[in-house]
Amino acid sequence: MASNTHDNVAPGRLHLRLRLPFSWDCIESVRQAVSAVIAASLNNELLAEQMAMVASELLENAVKHGEAGPIELCLEATDGQLDVAIGNAIGPDSVSVDQLSARIEFIRLFPSAREAYLAALSAVYEQGLASSSSTQSTLGLARIAAEGECLLQCNIPRPGWLTVSALRRIPPQQAPVYPVSEESAQ
Partner 1 sequence: MNLAPRKICRGSTVVEVGLSPGNVVRVSGVFRETGEEPWLQDLLVSIHEEAQRIRLDELLLDLRDLTYANAEGWRNLVLLLRLLKGPPRASYKLLMLTNMAHQWQRVGIPTLSVFGGSMLNIESSSTSQEPDLADAGRRSWKA
Q: Which stretch binds partner 1 (CB under 8 A): 4-12, 55-63, 66-74, 79-87?
A: 55-63
Could you say which of 64, 91, 155, 169 contacts partner 1 (CB under 8 A)?
64
Does residue number 167 form part of the binding site for partner 1 (CB under 8 A)? no
57 or 83: whose CB is closer to partner 1?
57
How many of the chain's residues bind partner 1 (CB under 8 A)? 27
What is d(CA 11, CA 120) in angstroms, rounded to the nearest whole number? Answer: 40
The residues in 29-48 that bind partner 1, with binding defined as CB under 8 A, are: 31, 46
Residue 124 CB, shortest distance to partner 1, in Å, is 5
For residue 1, how many other CB atoms are within 10 A of its CB?
A: 7
Could you say which of 14, 38, 41, 50 contacts partner 1 (CB under 8 A)?
50
- Buried/exposed code over 67-87 (b: 16+ C-beta within 10 A; e: otherwise): beeebbbebbbeeeebbbbbb
Does residue number 118 form part of the binding site for partner 1 (CB under 8 A)? yes
3-state secondary structure of 98: helix
Could you say which of 12, 43, 49, 167 contacts partner 1 (CB under 8 A)?
49
What is d(CA 167, CA 148) in angstroms, rounded to the nearest whole number? Answer: 9
Helices (H), the chain: 27-42, 45-65, 96-108, 113-127, 133-146, 182-185
Does residue number 116 form part of the binding site for partner 1 (CB under 8 A)? no
